[in-house]
Structure 1
């Protein structure tokens, strides 16, 4: 009788992937990135273990927003002070801090808790085409075929 395989944290082999976000819609990019970070693309996926890979997203400033999301999608955060709720549109956030736009989108698709935080730390987002992870020898991943 075979039993279900459950991955153990020490057995997981991690790879590094580079994804170019230029001209890819934010939601489609985020779903693929969240899936790879979580490890759902591997046959050894285990829901309660971090089995995912590291992901580097480059050209976050060139990510596409479909429809009128650039002006109508609003992100909120609170400063912690009375009346301290702040808001910024997705288009303005893409101009000011494109890394945060991608990070916020991906973070919302990950589990909420300690495992999700551990998974989120494997995401590295850069606004331009350069990144500092050449030593890890990341593989270039063309996600236009995965969408």
Structure 2
């Protein structure tokens, strides 16, 4: 017998802040091979350290 596993937004933001954005974007993409390919290209970083300094990205405040 399985149980429903759920987390509220506050605990998800504390533990995995990048996961909140990934799940919301995934919900907007098509549920097919194309959607899977698109989500693989998405990069989300939780802190100020990232690998795209040359592109000068702007931070997004939630």
TM-score (norm 1): 0.37
Which is richer in strand?
Answer: 1
Partner of 1:140, secondary structure, is: coil
State yes or no: 1:138 paired with 2:41.
no
> In the TM superposition, what whole-angstrom CA distance separates every residue of 1:38-76 from its partner, at most 9, and x where no partner exists?
xxxxxxxxxxxxxxxxxxxxxxxxxxxxxxxxxxxxxxx
Larger Rg: 1
Return the match for 2:43 from 103, 118, 124: 124
Q: CA offset at residue 93 of structure 1?
A: 0.5
Q: CA offset at residue 99 of structure 1?
A: 1.1
How many corresponding residue pairs? 60
Unaligned runs of 5+ in 1: 1-81
> In the TM superposition, what whole-angstrom CA distance separates every residue of 1:69-116 from its partner, at most 9, and x where no partner exists?
xxxxxxxxxxxxx32320110111001111111100011011110000
CA RMSD of aligned residues (A): 2.0
Which is richer in helix?
Answer: 2
- In 2: Cα distance, 1:108 partner to 1:94 partner: 17
Residues 1-147 of structure 1: pairs in structure 2 closer than 5 A: 82-134=1-53, 137-140=54-57
